[in-house]
Structure 1
Amino acid sequence: MLNKKLTPRLLMIPAAIALVLAGVAACGGSDTTPPPEGGRWIAGDLHTHTTQSADADASQTLDKILSKAFTTYGLDWMAISNHLRVSTRDEKGVTLPASIPMSLGAERYEIARVQALQAGGTYANKLIFSGFEWDMPTHDHIGVGLFEGTDKLATSTRGMKEFEYLFTNRDASMFDAADVAAWKAKYGAARYNASADDALKAIAWLKTNYPETSYAVINHPSRNKGSYTIADLRSFHDLAPNIMFAIEGMVGNQMEPDRGGYTAAYTPDNAALRTYGGVDQIVAKLGGTWDALLGEGRRIWNLTDSDTHFKIVGANSSGYFPGEYAKNYVFNSAQGTPTAKDLLQGLRSGKMFSVYGDLINALDFNLVANSTRKGMGDELAVASGEKITVTIRFKSPAKNNYEKPVDSGLGASVKPVVDHVDLIVGDVGARATPGSSAYAVDTNSSTRVVKRFTSADWKVDAEGYYRVTFETTASKNQYFRLRGTNLGTDVAGLTQNGEPLADQRTSTVDNAQRFNDINDRNYRSLWFYSNPVFVTVR
């Protein structure tokens, strides 16, 4: 019998017994049971750094990160997204004779090494590609990927170089002279790296040159004050909805003393610059920015990343390795090894959920009306007064990657247990008009938890999923989304009435103890978020 008094709900049980109880594979990679639509969930990370980023540790070699992501933690796909700044080291951490543009470093060291490994059979069944993290003028960081090709898209190194030249202040002499001459002939002498208008020009450039084969994800949106207003987010999405379709709401850098690296002073006026259960307030706040965007019917999705730079080095800690703590599960209908085209299609579709600490490793969330079934990212068209059945099915692994002590390689044999799942609903209305007062409104007052489910509500079905259903009646345009946690609804310092509270700094003086306290803090507070299902009333 499970101890329901444990808060948060982490069970210390022998691994063999846990496997029997769970009836599913241990964490790492995608669940073996396909969702009802067919296909499978593929787990991955869109935001990682190696030693080729100057703020990553020299020990964070490409080979090490690939091994952690795919061999240790079983991911299916990963984007290498070093900073679009100068590269001073190669993929092994060796200092270069002179700094070079990141795009050249990616081409010469990063992409070449991945191709050699996969050609030799290592990670041949994994999707690995190169993107970059761009310092967006007047804002913060944007994760960008751009591809070319036909069936199997490949990173466009040609596009990376042109983007870096146009939208950074990199000295033109660092690029190939023939390329610079061609770019000047195409664009003139102008370059765009200083203003908010320049930021929009970059998005427009992606839309013009890679309209179907690029993405631009807003990373850690509230880490720094004034980085993004909701008007900014709306304008990005208005300009290129096929490219600016996701927010990194469940941020990386979770091993920082300030969870997520959100280091603003801990004062009441900085409440919006905190994480809440490790989640940026844009997504974590019920009825906040994300709900305001969804309330306009915008297809803007939430995702999570590791933002790995290093885990623990000397007296400092930063983030977990790819797949160790944060995972995105993206639905892939294709067979065999996923391609960049498959992943991009899955990301755009919104058929994905994101999770910390392997709280769950499978989710089937769907709405059915009149025999029509729709899942995450979809739209269910119904008649007014029609009955809608909401079905939630999820699994948790036999154990997660919680270590005791941290970074020791000694697993604590902890089975993550979901305490409750919130079914959240919000109304959908018209889009705000650019320049209007509504364009700056970052709340959705209609958003609410329509039902909170606990273990008293769900049952285990024939496929080993915990399953619960809920019935409602269609009366207006709405969206439904899920949020789940291992925490009780009222846990001192962590939750209040089911809502996550602002994370506090872990400031233990002793280094080793602080690292363990941070790790314990993170695994004590686990969350998952689904993307929404929209309902349109005819």
Structure 2
Amino acid sequence: MGHGHHHHHDHHDGEPAELPPLLDTSIPDKELSPSEVSRRNLLRGAGVLGAGAAATGVLGSPAAAAATPAKAAQVVSSSHQPRGGYLWLAGDHHIHTRYSSDAMYRVIDHVRHANAFGLDWMVITDHGSAQHAKIGVEKVNPDIVTARSQIKDTLVFQGLEWNIPAAEHGTVFVHPGKNEVAVLKEFENSFDGVVKNATAGTSANEALAIAGVNFLADAVRRREIGDALFLANHPARKGIDSPHEIRGWRDAQPTIAVGMEGAPGHQAAGLPKPNGPGSARGLYDNSPSADSFAGYPLESYRTYGGFDWMTATVGGLWDSLLAEGKPWWITANSDSHNVYADTATRGPNSDFNTNGYYNDPVYGGAVNLTNTDFWPGYYSRTHVGATSFSYAAVMQALREGRVWVDHGGLISGLDVRVRVAGSGQRGVPLGGVLHIRDGSRVELTVTVDLAGRPNWAQFVPTLARVDVIQGDVTGPASDKDTFVAPNTKVVKSYEVGKNTGSVTFVHSLGAVDRPVYLRLRGTDGNRGAVGLRGAAVDPHGPAIDALGDADPWKDLWFYTNPIWVLPRR
């Protein structure tokens, strides 16, 4: 149930299978699609390009390309077939271009790669800064408008990466329209923490962040823009997104501030580098600073199976919000700046400080295995259940929490419902609320479409296990800085262990006499840990990612957003 373009290489039984183009070295790079060039570069950099290509490490154990060449170049179909009443559209809301001081690609480069590997929507989010606030917003806009016209089956939003006053970064983006540049420019000049010298963790700066969220809501209310959303990026990376700040953003404008990255980008950073160890998945290699929230433990500064500690901890900060009954959704994104195994370098004679951008990148140099990122869609994907293929429908799906995320193509589709047992109804989807009579019997139904085809690293992932996580809804927290939900736990696990076809589970909650919520996660089973850093209720959660050696392809997970069940008395 993903989307993308696919290339068929038919052959008759008994005849040798035709090599996919990316493995056929007689075909020059210029004749390949962007995704094929990128995957060829990966194989090239690993020293295994050729008809017998078999790669380990970053590629997993022997690449599926070698064993099933007819399928190796296939990616996911973009037919936008409805599933459960929704179009499940894959996207990425955190992407940087040559208009960011630490990136280099053109907008069209990102859009072409994302489109080729199946993304239906994406957000361009260049860094907020004094330079960007002056000229960046309007300079990138024509490139985005051009990309929209050239690649019509991928929706391209304009946004920016907000330096949240007193906190970390966040994605802010708006519905396309005549005022998208003006509203984003005013927002950045008025509320960006760097532009306003408001990065310190003071109460005045926290108030400025709330004012920024209110500004976006007012712009929508005044119909200056069709819609706007804000999501917190890499929230635990530096420890400066305190629990009360997160609650403050959400409570101020719950239709604008809707969630956070459950998994950060920069996932290739954990790979060993040619001349030594890597960094950390997500670049989560920090320690507490003066502005960090003192209550966070040291282990919160690391990722777990590539996911942020706030999301990966059963009974942790995310669950503490859900236990209040507060919608707060998770996403997964590339944060793409500089792509692993690419050959591009910044355009010569660039003057970013004067122009606000780098010249067009130049390709053909050495394969760079020190870069930390993947192209959008190649590893991290955010799937939204939209009512139509449109900008408005994607934004509404994000707002309503019909969202699940995965890494490395672990699964290809997912349908999750909660319903009254025996009712015969389809049930409530992700992000929804099932209202029941007190004591009604309730069941969760889950259908997983397994991977079935190679991912970008050229192997077919195998889903080993799906966990059902349930928590009590206990109401508003008296302490706005709480980050625990002690009643949340894994209530059921289902073993899978195959990678084709689909599997369906039905989990009975029994008679429900109190408000609860449910969410899911799944894993390839390669790495796990008992009792995730204080969450003793978690029997086999994700393991902490080692600094310098954390191959993202060997530790794949998916997570869903929750569904609530609320009895009426």
Shorter chain as denominator, the TM-score bin is: 0.7 to 0.9
Aligned to 1:235: 248
Give the match's secondary structure for 1:197.
helix
Give the match's secondary structure for 2:212.
helix
Correspondence for 2:229 among 211, 215, 220: 215
CA contact (8 A) 2:412 2:451 kept: yes
What is the identity, as a one-letter code, of the residue corresponding to 1:260?
G
What is the identity, as a one-letter code, of the residue corresponding to 1:55?
D
Given the superposition, is the C-alpha separation of residues 192 and 446 from structure 1 closer, same or farther in structure 2, using an over 3 Å criterion?
A: same
Aligned to 1:482: 520
CA contact (8 A) 1:192 1:201 kept: no
1:45 and 2:92 equivalent?
yes
1:104 and 2:151 equivalent?
no
Given the superposition, is the C-alpha separation of residues 481 and 9 from structure 1 closer, same or farther in structure 2, using an over 3 Å criterion?
A: farther
Correspondence for 1:259 among 255, 268, 281: 281
Give the match's secondary structure for 1:322.
coil
Q: CA deviation at 1:103?
A: 6.5
What is the identity, as a one-letter code, of the residue corresponding to 2:128?
L
Residue deviations 1:366-390, cap 9 Å, x none? 1121344111011111122212121
Aligned to 2:438: 384
Correspondence for 1:79 among 123, 132, 135: 123
Aligned to 1:299: 327
CA contact (8 A) 1:131 1:155 kept: no
Give the match's secondary structure for 2:114.
helix
Q: CA deviation at 1:275?
A: 0.5
Q: CA deviation at 1:14?
A: 4.8
1:206 and 2:216 equivalent?
yes
What is the identity, as a one-letter code, of the residue corresponding to 1:241?
P
Residue deviations 1:176-214, cap 9 Å, x none? xxxxxxxxxxxxxx9977622211111121122225711
Q: CA deviation at 1:84?
A: 1.3
Q: CA deviation at 1:309?
A: 0.6
Given the superposition, is the C-alpha separation of residues 309 and 10 from structure 1 closer, same or farther in structure 2, using an over 3 Å criterion?
A: closer
Give the match's secondary structure for 1:430.
coil
CA contact (8 A) 1:308 1:319 kept: yes
Aligned to 2:380: 326
CA contact (8 A) 2:166 2:198 kept: no
Correspondence for 1:346 among 397, 405, 420: 397
Q: CA deviation at 1:294?
A: 0.3
What is the identity, as a one-letter code, of the residue corresponding to 2:242?
T
Q: CA deviation at 1:233?
A: 1.1
5+ residue gaps, structure 2, are 1-57, 270-278, 289-295, 346-367
Using the size of structure 1 for normalisation, the TM-score is 0.77
What is the identity, as a one-letter code, of the residue corresponding to 1:351?
R
Aligned to 2:350: none
What is the identity, as a one-letter code, of the residue corresponding to 2:521?
R
CA contact (8 A) 1:147 1:155 kept: no
Correspondence for 2:155 among 110, 127, 132: 127
Q: CA deviation at 1:52?
A: 0.8
CA contact (8 A) 1:15 1:399 kept: no
Q: CA deviation at 1:62?
A: 2.1
Distance in 1 of aligned mates of 2:448 and 2:66: 21
Q: CA deviation at 1:65?
A: 1.4
Distance in 1 of aligned mates of 2:323 and 2:531: 30
CA contact (8 A) 2:521 2:559 kept: yes
Distance in 1 of aligned mates of 2:552 and 2:69: 23
What is the identity, as a one-letter code, of the residue corresponding to 1:486?
D
1:61 and 2:106 equivalent?
yes
What is the identity, as a one-letter code, of the residue corresponding to 1:45?
D
Aligned to 1:465: 502
Given the superposition, is the C-alpha separation of residues 42 and 396 from structure 1 closer, same or farther in structure 2, using an over 3 Å criterion?
A: same
Distance in 2 of aligned mates of 1:368 and 1:19: 43
1:147 and 2:175 equivalent?
yes
Equivalent pairs: percent with the same residue?
A: 28
Q: How does 1:85-100 map to 2 (within 5 A)?
A: 85-87=129-131
Aligned to 1:417: 462
Aligned to 1:3: none
Q: CA deviation at 1:144?
A: 0.4
Given the superposition, is the C-alpha separation of residues 103 and 341 from structure 1 closer, same or farther in structure 2, using an over 3 Å criterion?
A: farther
Aligned to 1:453: 494
Residue deviations 1:350-381, cap 9 Å, x none? 11100000101210011121344111011111
Distance in 2 of aligned mates of 1:54 and 1:355: 29
Q: CA deviation at 1:284?
A: 0.3
Distance in 2 of aligned mates of 1:41 and 1:471: 26
Correspondence for 1:357 among 405, 408, 413: 408
Q: CA deviation at 1:270?
A: 1.7
CA contact (8 A) 1:286 1:447 kept: yes
CA contact (8 A) 2:174 2:228 kept: yes
Using the size of structure 2 for normalisation, the TM-score is 0.73
What is the identity, as a one-letter code, of the residue corresponding to 1:525?
D
Q: How does 1:511-522 map to 2 (within 5 A)?
A: 521-522=551-552
Q: CA deviation at 1:66?
A: 1.7
Given the superposition, is the C-alpha separation of residues 365 and 169 from structure 1 closer, same or farther in structure 2, using an over 3 Å criterion?
A: closer
What is the identity, as a one-letter code, of the residue corresponding to 2:216?
L
Distance in 1 of aligned mates of 2:189 and 2:250: 24
Given the superposition, is the C-alpha separation of residues 300 and 155 from structure 1 closer, same or farther in structure 2, using an over 3 Å criterion?
A: farther
Correspondence for 2:336 among 303, 308, 316: 308
Residue deviations 1:433-456, cap 9 Å, x none? xxx4x2221111110111000128
What is the identity, as a one-letter code, of the residue corresponding to 1:442?
F
Given the superposition, is the C-alpha separation of residues 33 and 21 from structure 1 closer, same or farther in structure 2, using an over 3 Å criterion?
A: farther
Aligned to 2:83: 35
1:157 and 2:181 equivalent?
yes
What is the identity, as a one-letter code, of the residue corresponding to 1:479?
Y
Residue deviations 1:116-152, cap 9 Å, x none? 3443xx2022211210001112111011013365xxx
CA contact (8 A) 2:463 2:499 kept: no
Q: How does 1:478-517 map to 2 (within 5 A)?
A: 478-487=516-525, 490=528, 497-506=539-548
CA contact (8 A) 1:111 1:129 kept: no
Give the match's secondary structure for 1:81.
strand
Residue deviations 1:27-72, cap 9 Å, x none? 44668653222x311111000001110011x3x222221221112x
Q: CA deviation at 1:167?
A: 1.9
